[in-house]
Amino acid sequence: MKCVNCPRYCDADRASGKLGFCGAGRLSAVARAAAHFWEEPCISGTRGSGTVFFSGCNLRCAYCQNAEISFSGKGRELDAKGLREAFLRLAGTGVHNINLVTPTPHIDAIAEALERPVGVPVVYNCGGYESAEGLRKLEGKIDIYLPDVKYSDDKLALLLSNAPGYFDRARQAVAEMYRQTGRYLLDSEGLMRRGLIVRHLVLPGHTDNSKDVLEWFAGTFGRGEAMLSLMSQYTPPINAALPLELKRRLTREEYGEVVDYLHMLGIRDGYIQDLESANEGFVPDFDMTGVQ
């Protein structure tokens, strides 16, 4: 079966051992499966989000914070049965949910692993460059979608993430995600049980890109339908080949400009960040913790 799980449609025949653009093969490489406390409050809660970090990615973001695993096959290879066992072990530690990070290359194995519930909500945490065909394989298996919408500017998407047609693809993907989950639902402790949170990272020198993403969100979702997480945590990787404006951190003035625009648009559901979030210390060690 050839892969159609992302908009690249590279048709990699995983069963025959062919690797796709993402670098993933027949088995899923997992670099870490452990509690993580730095997601949005309604995801992390007090006991943490049970985060499963997959290796390989269908994007090539020049500023990727997880480059150690995104551009490699680092990790322990697991089939669908092994993935399910990892999910169940992690759920058994008391985390609030199972949080699948960079899951797009592994949709087929994930869908098989989630044929039966794992006892806690499942979060699909992705870069937003998805295909509707891939997402439909997950219907009824994912409780919370947590996609990035990185770019409204397709030239910027191509330059920084090698992602042709990114904005249209991300909008189509988000529409499919919302169709599956509907309006977000929080429990009595403020934890999300079902729904959609769209993330957007403000990039230095590109506030117009962010404003256009916010305009799209405000025109697409009403109050109580979806959340927006506006992130300020951009950290320029050392030695990365970046345009000059991306070799520095985001300024307080730039982020404040975008936050003001968010308020002007009337977006009230979601989160903004402190600039102190721009810290390499939030990136975990990809040391195969929790993967047997």
Check residue 20 and give its pLDDT.
Answer: 85
Task: Name the token pair of 75.
Answer: 């990790």
Check residue 145 and give its pLDDT.
Answer: 98
How confident is the model over 160-189, as pLDDT tens digits? 999 999 999 999 999 999 999 999 999 999
Check residue 239 and give its pLDDT.
Answer: 76
Check residue 281 and give its pLDDT.
Answer: 53
How confident is the model over 259-281, as pLDDT tens digits? 999 999 999 999 999 876 655 55
Dump the DSSP string for 176-202: HHHHHH-S-EE-TTS-EEEEEEEEEEP
Residue type, 275: L
Beta bridge mates, 270:
228
Residue 12, in any domain of the structure: no
Check residue 109 and give its pLDDT.
Answer: 95
Per-position pLDDT tens, the chain of length 292: 578 899 999 888 877 778 889 988 889 999 999 999 999 999 999 999 999 999 999 999 999 988 888 877 788 999 999 999 999 999 999 999 999 999 999 999 999 999 999 999 999 999 999 999 999 999 999 999 999 999 999 999 999 999 999 999 999 999 999 999 999 999 999 999 999 999 999 999 999 999 999 999 999 999 999 999 999 999 998 877 899 999 999 999 999 999 999 999 999 999 999 876 655 555 666 566 666 6
CA atoms within 13 A on the CB side of 96: 23
- Residues 6+ away with beta carbon under 8 Å from 186: 42, 192, 193
Residue 86, in any domain of the structure: yes
Domain that holds residue 259: 23-282
Residue 14, in any domain of the structure: no
Residue type, 243: P
Q: Rounded to an integer, what is the distance from CA 182 to the centroid of its chain?
A: 18
- Long-range CB contact pairs, 118-123, < 8 A, 24+: 118/84, 118/87, 118/88, 118/91, 119/88, 119/91, 120/50, 120/91, 120/95, 120/96, 121/96, 121/97, 121/192, 121/193, 121/194, 122/87, 122/97, 122/98, 123/43, 123/49, 123/97, 123/98, 123/99
Check residue 238 and give its pLDDT.
Answer: 83
Would you tell me how many other CB atoms lie within 10 Å of the CB of residue 46?
10
Residue 4, in any domain of the structure: no
Question: Rounded distance, CA 66 to CA 55, Å?
Answer: 9
Question: Rounded distance, CA 271 to CA 44, Å?
Answer: 13
Check residue 25 and give its pLDDT.
Answer: 86
Domain tally for the chain? 1
**CATH number of the domain bearing residue 142:** 3.20.20.70
Question: Rounded distance, CA 45 to CA 99, Å?
Answer: 13
Phi, psi at 239, each rounded to 5°: 70, 10
Residue 139, in any domain of the structure: yes
Check residue 280 and give its pLDDT.
Answer: 56
Residue 168, in any domain of the structure: yes
Question: Rounded distance, CA 32 to CA 21, Å?
Answer: 22
Residue 3, in any domain of the structure: no
What rounded mean pLDDT belongs to the chain? 93
Would you tell me how many other CB atoms lie within 10 Å of the CB of residue 81?
11
Question: Rounded distance, CA 86 to CA 63, Å?
Answer: 29
Task: Name the token pair of 138.
Answer: 């997950």
CB 58 within 8 A of CB 8: yes
CB 171 within 8 A of CB 216: yes
- Find, among 245, 244, 254, the residue nearest to 275 by Cα: 254
Residue 287, in any domain of the structure: no
